[in-house]
Chain A
Amino acid sequence: MVSFLKSAAIAVAGLLMTAAAYADPEVGKPAPDFSAVDSNGKSVKLSDYRGKTVVLEWTNDGCPYVKKHYSSNNMQTLQKEVAAKGAVWLTIISSALGAQGYLTGDEANKLTETRGAAPAAVVLDPEGVLGHLYDARTTPHMFIVNGEGTLVYMGGIDDAATTDPADIKTAKNYVRAALDNLAAGSPIETAVTRPYGCSVKYKTAS
């Protein structure tokens, strides 16, 4: 009977979690916690990074908007800045198996190496669980979680919604600005912006 109770409790908890997953993330509220697997098969849990700033980057290496930021070395530079400050950068791939941007762990590691990227981990999310949890819509789509686990930024990487790398020079990089605000202990000046890019290639419902 006790085990029945336990499984009933788990079932209810599961239902509640499903409900929670439908609540969209909101700046100023706790960022939804997650536990996922990275390209090396290791578990990555958001709440383990409590005390550190965490940057979430949704990516798809086939997407021209993502290419814009990697071919120009813009994303890698930012990743290295973040790492140097002791913050955590998680690159997340929510492309479904067979969809553009889907990578196996080995492929993801190879890509990180060839493009000189510096994320703390590349999280593989082919089922789209994490993507839906954060309502990630585009690649790139950026989120910043502060040391207390509060979501402090969500939106685009910058304000130049184009595929032209030449625009990066004149664009305002919202993520860098938000990280600077965080470091200075001041409120995030622009906390919600339009994410731009390709749609995330989620697994279809069928």
Chain B
Amino acid sequence: MGHWQLASVLAFFLAATGWGSAMAAEAGPHHHVEVVLLAEKSAVEPGKMITVAVQERMEPGWHTYWINPGDSGEPTSIEWSLPQGLSAGPILWPIPHVISVGPLAEYGYDDEVVLLTEIQVPEKIEGNSVTLGAKVSYLVCREICIPEEKHVELTLPVQSAGAASPSAFAAQIEKARSALPVPLPGTASYSANPAKESLRLTVSTDEKLLQGVKDARFFPLTWGSVANPAPQPMKISGGRLTLDMKQGDTKETPERLEGLLVLTKGSGEGERSGYTVSALRGPDSATSGSLFDAAGGSGMGSGAVRPGAEAAGISGVGIAVLFAFLGGAMLNLMPCVFPVLALKALAFAKKAEHGHRQQGIAYLGGVLVSFGAIAAFIVAFREGTAALGWGFQFQSPAFVLALASLFFVMGLSLSGVVSFGAGMMSIGDSLSRRPGNAGYFFTGVLAAIAATPCTAPFMGAAIGYAMTQPSYILAAIMLGLGLGFAAPVVILSISPALQHILPKPGVWMVTLKQVLAFPLYATAAWLVWVLSIQTGSDGVMAAALAVVGIGFAAWLAHKTAFSSLPVKLIAPALAVATLAVTLPMAETAETVSAATGANSSVLAEEPFTKARLDELRADGRPVFINLTAAWCITCKVNERVALKTSSVTQAFQAAGITYLKGDWTRANPEISDLLRRFGRAGVPLYLFYPGRGEEPRVLPQILTAGLVIDEIKAKPLIASPSPSKGA
């Protein structure tokens, strides 16, 4: 190897200095490839096919190219000159290797390659022999590239059919033939995720074919759709293989993605086998113009459907508002609110019995206006930024990380490491001293503002959640918070006697605050887990860095709390810088795997695609659909307690049900369409198509094993016995 390198470096210097350039680069008398023409048989037989081989033997380190050369290079071409009546087929390309050249990837061959061609011999041939001529043109590259051309010839006698014997090269040619790619036994499809500029190839085949596969690579047949140098992480579960690829320059998503799937098994260099693949584009790719659109009407605007939390379902809104109300009520127990509340209660008790109701309502009005203003601000901010192209969605890894960072910071705040808005207390103070109902209105406003140091963590969490929701839910949640927040004062205004049930202010308030930090940390931990599923280890690294950076900034903020203003600004600047670095890091991290846990499921699952569903329905087969996402806790619980249990698995198998799992962790228009069709804004959604053209049944959002089994048994197929052969 060493002296070749030296020689080529020398060649470069000669080239660089000018006079040597022609010699170094132009194909002089010295060729880097030896080309010979071989035939499988010792003679040609009229009316038969003969396999011939162009064998290229490269000097060490040099390579020639596959039919798609990849990022640079040019494939070998053979121009045949054959006697009248003989015709040559195309080159039968052997399996190529990936040749990495700096940031580029080329597809080709080193050492030696045997290019087989089949030549059809006519029934009638004139003369006793034929001469097969081939002009072989190829580009051979090492660090530099040289186009070479060789003319090779082979003269073979003509013998009657069956008389020709195998040539000396028969074994070599047979070996090359047996190593040629074969059509994939099974089906292949692919889908594109334009937002991530990624492609996913899904292959369903015989389980045995995939057993022991340690590496898989897709070689696209043509340039444009697939980025050549990007790694292609694979996942195998049973008879299914998925490969994640990066989109190429054109970002084209052709109807069929053609190429070669190469699987490597065994140790060391391994044993490679190639399969020709023609993957149909899944309808959920770049643009969906599917049947599902019927229900949706106008397309998805920037915020039409916000996949967020499972609570966005039909009954979810009420629950979310209820929790918001409880959360708001709990805000009153915070150290900076509770004393105010206690004072107000005292005031009510001291004064006369009448008139408090009005004051209470004025207070309520003040609080609600404040919370309403916050909601309006969030909606305006969100719509504004959505127009700017920010995607406030859980599918964006950067958003998930931002949210995790927010929860972490809010947790730190509750833990007492950092404090927010301590200076805001006095703003509305003078207003609230006004007499009468106006005074109470502003007391409400003040309470909302004054409480900021304590409520910010909760507000932050609520806002973080509300961000992912449609505007009306967001407004409902904020007003729910406000109602809850105002509730104690309103109740006391109606019935001052109730004040004795209030606990006394004390250290317990601080303790409570500190304890409440931990659910926030837990939420942050969960979000990092979501991120790990979206992006793999790179995303987790980004999250870890974000946490360290923010932690450091928090410590610094504490340390510099009494310094001059520019010094004080370092900590927040550092926090912002941390996010500025880690968010793009998370966003650009390579996707490693889907959320579908490969390891555990005993239930044979297939990825949900509309095409697959339509196919199964057309066959009259029963289908169970699970639409899920990594960030959906309800989904995970349902899978654990119901769908992945052995009783459900057995019931599915017994009924011949195909289990389709749709992963909505990242945006998938096909799944969004299906959700919309069933009036859902988010996952989970469980559907059972009983087969035989019956209408689908929607299962509840909370599943048990018994419920699922009952549901699939509930209405047996009308015409029994079941015609399903697979059952």
Q: Are B103 and A61 touching (Cβ within 8 A)?
A: no
Contact of B106 among A19, A135, A163, A199 (CB under 8 A): A199
Interface presence of B224 (CB below 8 A): yes
- Could you tell me if B250 and A199 are in contact, using CB atoms closer than 8 angstroms? no
With the chains together, A138 CA to B71 CA distance in Å?
A: 7
Bound: A195/B250 CA distance, A: 12
Of B11, B249, B580, B585, which is in contact with the most chain A CB atoms at under 10 Å from its CB? B249
Are B580 and A12 interface neighbours, CB within 8 A? yes
B566 beta carbon closer than 8 Å to chain A: yes
Is A99 in contact with chain B by the CB < 8 A criterion? yes
Decide: B25 and A64 in contact? CB cutoff 8 A. yes
User: Contacting A196 at CB < 8 Å: which of B72, B141, B569, B585?
Assistant: B72
What number of A residues sit within 8 Å (CB to CB) of B?
A: 46
Provide the A174-206 mask, 1 if CB < 8 A to any CB of B, else 0.
000000000000000000101111111110110
Assess whether A22 is interfacial by the CB under 8 Å rule: yes
CB within 8 A of A62: which of B25, B102, B249, B581?
Answer: B25
Would you give the shortest CB distance from A112 to chain B, in whole angstroms?
Answer: 14
A202 → B minimal CB distance (Å): 4
Task: Kindly identify which residue among A1, A198, A202 contacts B567, using a CB–CB cutoff of 8 Å.
Answer: A1
* Distance (whole angstroms) from the CB of A118 to the closest CB of chain B: 21
What is the bound-complex CA distance between A202 and B13, given in angstroms?
Answer: 15
Within 8 A of A (CB), among B560-603: 566-567, 569-570, 573-574, 577, 580-581, 584-585, 588
| CB neighbours of B71 from chain A (8 A) | 137-138, 199
Q: Are B573 and A102 in contact (CB under 8 A)?
A: no
A103 to B74, CA, bound (A): 26
Whole-angstrom distance between the Cβ of B578 and the nearest chain A Cβ: 9
Residue A36 is within 8 A (CB to CB) of chain B in the complex? no
Within 8 Å of chain B (Cβ to Cβ): is A52? no
- A63/B584 in contact, CB under 8 A: no
Find residues 1-35 in chain A having any chain B CB closer than 8 Å to their own CB.
1-2, 4-5, 8-9, 12, 15-16, 19, 22-23
Is A162 close to B, CB under 8 A? yes
Whether A12 pairs with B581 at a CB distance below 8 angstroms is yes
B686 to chain A, nearest CB (A): 39
Instruction: Judge whether B103 and A5 touch: CB under 8 Å.
Output: no
- A154: nearest residue on chain B (CB-CB)? B249
Query: Does B580 contact A132, Cβ atoms closer than 8 Å?
Result: no
Interface 9-mer from B144-152, B254-262, B438-446, B669-677? B144-152
Rounded to whole Å, the gap between the CB of B293 and the closest CB of chain A is: 27
Residue of A nearest to B246 (CB): A24
Q: Which residues 94-130 of A sit at the B interface, judged by CB distance below 8 A? A: 98-103, 107
CA distance A163 to B13 in the complex (A): 23
Q: B588 to chain A: which residues have CB within 8 Å?
A: 19, 22-23
* Interface presence of B654 (CB below 8 A): no
- List B contacts of A107 (CB < 8 A): 16, 18
State whether the Cβ of A78 lies closer than 8 Å to any Cβ in chain B. Answer: no
Asked whether A100 lies within 8 Å of B581 as measured between CB atoms, the reply is: no
Interchain nearest-CB distance for A15 vs B (Å): 5
Evaluate contact between A199 and B141: CB separation under 8 angstroms: yes
Give bound CA distance, A99 to B566, whole Å.
50
Nearest to B24 among chain A residues (CB) is A62
Q: Are A19 and B584 in contact (CB under 8 A)?
A: yes
Q: Which of B11-32 contact A (CB under 8 A)?
A: 11-13, 15-16, 18, 21, 24-26
The answer to whether A64 touches B147, judged by C-beta atoms less than 8 angstroms apart, is yes
Q: Which residues of A from 57 to 116 have beta carbons under 8 Å from B?
A: 61-65, 67, 98-103, 107
Q: Which residues of B contact A194 (CB under 8 A)?
A: 223-224, 249
Q: Is the CB of B25 within 8 A of A100?
A: yes
Closest Cβ of chain A: how far from B245's Cβ, in Å?
Answer: 14
Among the listed B18, B21, B223, B573, which residue makes an inter-chain contact with A8, where contact means beta carbons less than 8 Å apart? B573
- Residues in A neighbouring B694, C-beta threshold 8 A: none
Q: Given known contacts A1-B566, A192-B250, A200-B102, is B15 in contact with A62 (CB within 8 Å)?
A: yes
Residue B143 lies at the interface, judged by CB distance under 8 Å to chain A: yes
Flag whether B300 is at the interface (Cβ < 8 A): no
Known: A19-B584, A65-B145, A132-B103. 8 other contacts (CB 8 A): A63-B25, A100-B11, A100-B144, A135-B103, A192-B249, A198-B73, A199-B72, A201-B143
A-B contact pairs, 13 of them (CB 8 A): A19-B581, A61-B21, A62-B21, A64-B25, A67-B25, A98-B9, A98-B16, A100-B15, A102-B12, A192-B249, A192-B250, A194-B223, A202-B103
Chain A: residues with CB nearer than 8 A to chain B?
1-2, 4-5, 8-9, 12, 15-16, 19, 22-23, 61-65, 67, 98-103, 107, 132, 135, 137-138, 154-155, 161-163, 192, 194-202, 204-205
